Amino acid sequence: MGALSRHPRLVGAAAVALAAALSVPLVVYVIVPIFVRSTLSEPLPAMTPAVLGTNAPEIIPTAQPTPATLARGDLVHITAVDYGSGVVRILTLGKDRFVRFENVDIAGAPDMYVYLSDRDDGKPGTYIDLGKLKATNGSFNYAVPATADLAAVRSVVVWCRQFSVTVTYAVLMR
């Protein structure tokens, strides 16, 4: 104790350095994502000429076919910094399949991706990568690859690659 009392400036400098080192994760993970927000409002997927087929009539129907819901789930609040709200649905329209995020509010974080997971606990497990999260707020769609086995999919996970953490997820009910 005597050595510390003889060097108060050294102790003060060490305390400041420790406080600065501890504040970096707080700033990067909690404060910065608050300002990294985006909104996107995409319409429901519509029939494309490829879905309609090459023998589609030249007359455009007055009512577009509406997508059918294969599964749906609600995004969950995990922690104060990892959360989401809103609905996620898996839709089919003709032979095309989509994941639709509807009226979502998702925590901001860097490097977020959307996965179709074979688990229902929020972990990626064996997953299908649908790409980067398009926005943190709003309604938007992702095309599901034709080769994806939707029977094995139990949840949609929003994953932060930079911190290897689930930001939010939705367990799918069929």
The single-letter code of the amino acid at 152 is A
Secondary structure element (H or E) that encloses residue 88, with its range: strand 84-93
Domain boundaries, the chain: 2-35, 66-171
Look at the alpha carbons of 144, 149, 151, 155 in this order and tell me if their dihedral is positive or negative: negative
pLDDT score of 142? 98
Phi and psi dihedrals of 14, rounded to 5?
A: -65, -40
In this structure, how many other beta carbons lie within 10 angstroms of the beta carbon of residue 115? Answer: 23
pLDDT score of 51? 47
Q: Hey, what CATH topology would domain 66-171 get? A: Immunoglobulin-like (2.60.40)
pLDDT score of 33? 60
Q: What is the DSSP string of 91-148?
A: EEETTEEEEEEEEEEE---SSEEEEEES-SSS---SEEEEEE---SEEEEEEEPPTT-
Cα 116–Cα 121–Cα 123 angle in degrees, nearest 5: 55
pTM: 0.76
Which of 155, 166, 146, 28 lies closest to 98, judged by CA?
A: 146
pLDDT in tens, the chain (174 residues): 566 667 677 767 777 777 777 776 666 666 666 667 899 999 998 865 554 455 555 555 566 788 999 999 999 999 988 999 999 999 999 999 999 999 999 999 889 999 999 999 999 999 999 999 999 999 999 999 999 999 999 999 999 998 899 999 999 999
In this structure, how many other beta carbons lie within 10 angstroms of the beta carbon of residue 3? Answer: 8
